[in-house]
Amino acid sequence: MELTDKIRQYIAERCAAKLEALEKELAKAEKELSADAFAVFRLDWQQRKQALLDSFKPDAWLTDAASRAKQISLVSHAIKYTHSDAKGTSLMLVADKISASGYLSSCSLDALKADVVGNAAALDVANLLLLESDGVRLLDMISKDDVAALQAFGSTEQQAGWLQGFKEALKVLDPASHTLAKQLYFPVPESESGYHLLAPLAASSLNHAVYQQIQHSRFSDEAKAARDARRKDLYWHEGTCDYLSLAIQTFGGTKPQNISLLNSQRRGRSYLFNAQPPVWKTLDKPPKSIEDFWFKYRRHIRAQVRDLKGFLEWADVQQLNNIHIREKRAEMVSALVDEFYQYSARIQLMSPGWSAEAFGVKPEACWLDPGRTDDDFLCEREGKGWCKPLALTFGRVLSKAMETKKLSMTDAETAHFKQQIQREAYRLMIDLEELV
């Protein structure tokens, strides 16, 4: 749809909403008033309806909207998130003029969604300026003195007036803070005053992008389908994305529109991530025996094994066996090896010598207790003969974990899959020999 048609449709929708309220008012009066009183009310109502229709003629409405455009500002960083009565300057970041750093910031976005601050009663003007067609917004055309989208609605003189009025929303005012805004005194020894006064602003456009991403991950149809498949222990072609320990901060109370347009669209809510540093969880006790170690490893990888089984069952039902399926399968098996390393690393951090009584001189002891110093152990470990038995045991444990009654793979496919596990076990053996 052309931008001109979208403008015409937008004005018509605004008019329809106002007319609906008038119609309800008439229906209510007809029920409550006497016949004479209703006749008088209806006459006044018809006059108000006609006045409303006249005000929503495109040329008349655009003239009124242009006169109110100075009451709003298009921004990416808004001051009112600090306090709804803050009167200072909000800013519009020009992302393509600022290089993105390694941190998540407004510059990380491909395109900034403009926010609007100012008089909440003029947000209809903001929504008009944000109308777009083929990626081009009306405000972008206004900023370039282009009135092509408005030519169908009025004369050249009217178009010039609309352009001048709408450009008021794009003006950048002189920077000014406010007593209700945040201000930070940042020490700068080389400056005359000894400090810079910083006025941090809320990154509204970035907050909105984060909010939309989290909402999609939590409530979209795709996310719901993936979670339903996970609950039913079924394979799904897409994973789920969960955000743990989210906090919700609200702005504006019962009137979020007083903060900004995007804040109103989010119903005043903004998500905060948990910024606490990760806590390393160590094992309280080492494995009691070799069987206990492998049992706990299988329990540690049960989620990955479940996903791999589900993937194989899905591929078997769909009768798929192509390069993409095989690469995905190899990737998931390789992840089980990575988990083996990570789980083992937690045990290797324990006090040396713990395996002497529980494991004796076994391949698992050589791998899990590298700091042990008794002579028999050192001789076995330095010889590296333990690497191959450990890798073979790993392969057998993984093969047993993958046993399932639902899979009906052919003998050739089963043999190929076992060979893949054996290859991973062989690679593990090579890695172990290099680590020692």
- Check if the beta carbon of residue 127 is closer than 8 Å to that of residue 113: no
Note if the pTM is more than 0.85. no
pLDDT of residue 432: 58
pLDDT of residue 417: 55
If we measure between CA atoms, which residue out of 91, 104, 129 comes closest to residue 207?
Answer: 104
Q: What letters, b where the CB count within 10 A reaches 16 and e where it falls short, cover 7-28?
A: beebbeebbeeeeeeeeeeeee
- For residues 183 and 46, give the distance between their C-alpha atoms in angstroms, rounded to a whole number: 54
Are 307 and 235 in contact by the 8 Å Cβ rule? The answer is: yes
What is the DSSP track for 99-166?
Answer: ---SS-SGGGSSSPPPEEEE-GGGHHHHHHHT-EETTEEHHHHHHTT--GGGGGGS-HHHHHHHHHHH
Per-10-residue mean pLDDT, the chain, length 436: 83 87 84 81 85 85 86 81 80 60 74 77 82 80 82 83 83 76 84 82 86 88 86 80 86 84 88 83 76 88 82 74 77 82 85 83 83 82 79 78 61 54 63 60
Asked if residues 90 and 114 have their Cβ atoms less than 8 Å apart, the reply is no
Residues 6 or more apart whose CB falls under 8 angstroms from that of 159 comprise 147, 150, 151
What is the pLDDT at residue 409?
45
pLDDT of 254 reads 83
Residue listed under structure tokens 């509204």: 204
In angstroms, rounded to a whole number, what is the distance separating the alpha carbons of residues 360 and 29? Answer: 94
Domain ranges of the chain: 73-129+172-278, 290-435
Residue type for position 182:
K
Q: Please report the pLDDT score of residue 399 as a whole number.
A: 75
- Per-residue DSSP letters for 384-402? TTTHHHHHHHHHHHHHHHT
Per-residue model confidence as pLDDT tens digits over 130-169: 888 877 888 888 888 888 888 888 788 888 888 888 888 7
Query: What does the block give as tokens for 184?
Result: 């930070």
